[in-house]
Amino acid sequence: MSRRPLSVAVIGAGMAGRSHAAGYRSVNTVFGEGLPPVRLAAIADANEQLARDAARRYGFEKAVLSWEEVVEDPSIDAISIVVGNSLHRPIAEAAIAAGKHVLCEKPLAGSLEDARVMVAAEERSDVVTAVGYTYRRSPAIAAIRDHVHDRELGELSLFDGRYWCDYACDPRGPLTWRYRGGPGSGALGDIGAHVIDVGQLLCGPIVSVSGAVLSTQIPERPLPLGAVVGHDAAPVSDEMGEVENEDTAVFTARFGSGPSATFSVSRTAFGMPNGLAFDVYGLAGRASFDWHRPSEYLLDDRQPEARSRGARQVIVGPQMPYVAGGYPMEAPGVGGGNAEMFVYQCRAFLDQIVGTPDPLPPNATFADGLHTMQVIAAVVESARSDGAAVAVPTH
């Protein structure tokens, strides 16, 4: 294997961009020696202060003010795209055309049309392309996936998934790009994409949705007076602007493998800072997970004696995916944080690029990201049709 450094850059220096930057910094500390040295080349952001701070904190060589400068740099091999959804397509197209590998944050794009163009670019290229569904890298969720795929829960009957957050509860929170874009681009695109992906990771592709209801609790928000980072508060003006997308969404779904599902997502669920959770039921067992307790899950299955029946707490440890070789302290109950999942995601992306022996499972593809967006589009159509059933295309 070549020992030429693999040069990476991150486009976007907000909270998710910093998570990618920290992930790249740590990829050679996990899972053995498979990678060459990683050169931390550049952080790009139109906010110069933000870009410089991220470059300093995570050891990148420089901060630049435009994504074009990164794409045009022939020394950079791979990029993460971590900016507003509407910018994903032009950056990805340009990067792929320049021969760069691309890890794009979810949702894949700002529209279905853009997502389809990105998938077409993926199919034509010989570079690695991936979508950032970090919860796939949770040891607990990966362990539940193994229970499901090994049929330890029996034939699946129901998936109940929810992602409840409270970052939009304050009506004086500024009107940022997260509140633009029309139905489906709000809570569904921002956090719903994650729980939809988890459901499909466990149960397979969703083939139809129904019973959808979208609602907006705060229809107007004040315009910001300056740059806003992530979900941070910021100075705002007295001028108000319209919120164009949903704060809350609920819907039912059917997987092609047979089981049904219920989903609910909200960015106005007070007291839920990051409440991704789910239950998956089969005819012989169930498993439950809550991100607010990331180092454990509940498992209930058929025991030899009736007196031992009931849900039991399973503590995540080295027997689970990603713990052995992934945590500095390989012991039960000591990990499960968001930052580690970004490290594993970045490591899997670079593994794919260089062909690391015994690599981590690959990340989701652009085609996977398109399918999730097609699920979201079907939810929007169902809501517009008084909850009617809507089929989800297979591509």
252 occurs within a structural domain: yes
pLDDT for residue 21 is more than 50: yes
Q: Which of helix, strand or coil describes residue 331? A: coil
In tens, the pLDDT along 209-223 reads 999 999 999 999 999
349 occurs within a structural domain: no
- Percentage of the chain exceeding pLDDT 70: 97
| 208 burial type by CB count under 10 A (0-12 exposed, 13-18 middle, 19+ buried) | middle
pLDDT for residue 376 is more than 90: yes
Q: Is the peptide bond before 107 cis (omega within 30 degrees of 0)?
A: yes
Domains in the chain, number: 2
Q: Rounded to the nearest 5°, which phi and psi values hold at 130?
A: -155, 160
197 occurs within a structural domain: yes
pLDDT for residue 5 is more than 80: yes
In tens, the pLDDT along 325-335 reads 999 899 998 87
Q: What angle do CA 379, 384, 386 make, to 5 degrees?
A: 95
State the average pLDDT over residues 246-267.
Answer: 98
Amino acid at 373: M
109 and 196 part of one domain = no
Residue 136 CB partners (closer than 8 Å, separation 6+): 142, 197, 198, 201, 345, 361, 363, 364
The DSSP secondary-structure symbol of 392 reads -
24 and 129 part of one domain = yes
Residue that terminates a domain, selected from 135, 168, 194: 135
State the average pLDDT over residues 291-307.
Answer: 84
In tens, the pLDDT along 50-103 reads 999 999 999 999 999 999 999 999 999 999 999 999 999 999 999 999 999 999
66 and 178 part of one domain = no
- pTM, to two decimals: 0.94
Q: What angle do CA 177, 138, 361 make, to 5 degrees?
A: 100
Q: Which of 241, 62, 282, 247 is nearest to 154 (CA)?
A: 282
164 and 225 part of one domain = yes
367 occurs within a structural domain: no
359 occurs within a structural domain: no
Residue that terminates a domain, selected from 72, 105, 135: 135
Tokens representing 27?
């990829």
81 and 157 part of one domain = no
Between the CA of residue 56 and those of 9, 13, 20, 41, 230, what are the distances in Å? Answer: 14, 11, 14, 12, 19
pLDDT at residue number 107? 95
115 and 153 part of one domain = no
pLDDT band at 228 (very low <50, low <70, confident <90, very high): confident
Q: Rounded to the nearest 5°, which phi and psi values hold at 15?
A: -65, -40
363 occurs within a structural domain: no
The DSSP secondary-structure symbol of 192 reads I
State the average pLDDT over residues 201-206.
Answer: 97
178 and 281 part of one domain = yes
Q: How many CB atoms lie within 10 A of CB 308?
A: 9
Higher model confidence: residue 5 or residue 394? 5
pLDDT for residue 2 is more than 60: no
153 occurs within a structural domain: yes
pLDDT at residue number 1? 47
144 and 40 part of one domain = no
In terms of residue numbers, what domain contains 292? 139-333+372-383
pLDDT at residue number 302? 75
What's the CATH code of the domain at 98? 3.40.50.720
222 and 282 part of one domain = yes
pLDDT at residue number 34? 84
Longest distance between any two alpha carbons in the chain, whole Å: 66
Between the CA of residue 57 and those of 33, 61, 63, 327, what are the distances in Å? Answer: 25, 11, 11, 21
Distance CA 229, CA 244 (A): 20
For all residues of the chain together, what is the average pLDDT?
94
pLDDT band at 304 (very low <50, low <70, confident <90, very high): low
Locate tokens 């979810």: which residue? 106
Tokens representing 10?
């991150």
Residue that terminates a domain, selected from 106, 135, 164: 135
What's the CATH code of the domain at 207? 3.30.360.10
- Percentage of the chain exceeding pLDDT 90: 87
274 and 308 part of one domain = yes
104 occurs within a structural domain: yes
pLDDT for residue 172 is more than 90: yes
pLDDT band at 11 (very low <50, low <70, confident <90, very high): very high
Amino acid at 187: A
247 and 273 part of one domain = yes
The DSSP secondary-structure symbol of 364 reads B
Beta bridge partners of 62: 42
How many helices, marked H, and strands, marked E, lie in the chain? 10, 17
State the average pLDDT over residues 131-136.
Answer: 97
pLDDT at residue number 16? 94
pLDDT for residue 341 is more than 50: yes
Query: Would you say 71 and 95 are in contact if contact means Cβ atoms under 8 Å apart?
Result: yes
pLDDT band at 395 (very low <50, low <70, confident <90, very high): low
Render the burial of 311-347: b for 16+ CB within 10 Å, e for the rest: eeebebbeebbbbeebbeeeeeeebbeeebbbbbbbb
pLDDT band at 245 (very low <50, low <70, confident <90, very high): very high
Dihedral (CA of 104, 189, 161, 153) sign = negative
pLDDT band at 150 (very low <50, low <70, confident <90, very high): very high
- H helix or E strand, kind and range, residue 259: none
Amino acid at 82: V
62 and 126 part of one domain = yes
Dihedral (CA of 78, 82, 88, 90) sign = negative
State the average pLDDT over residues 301-309.
Answer: 68
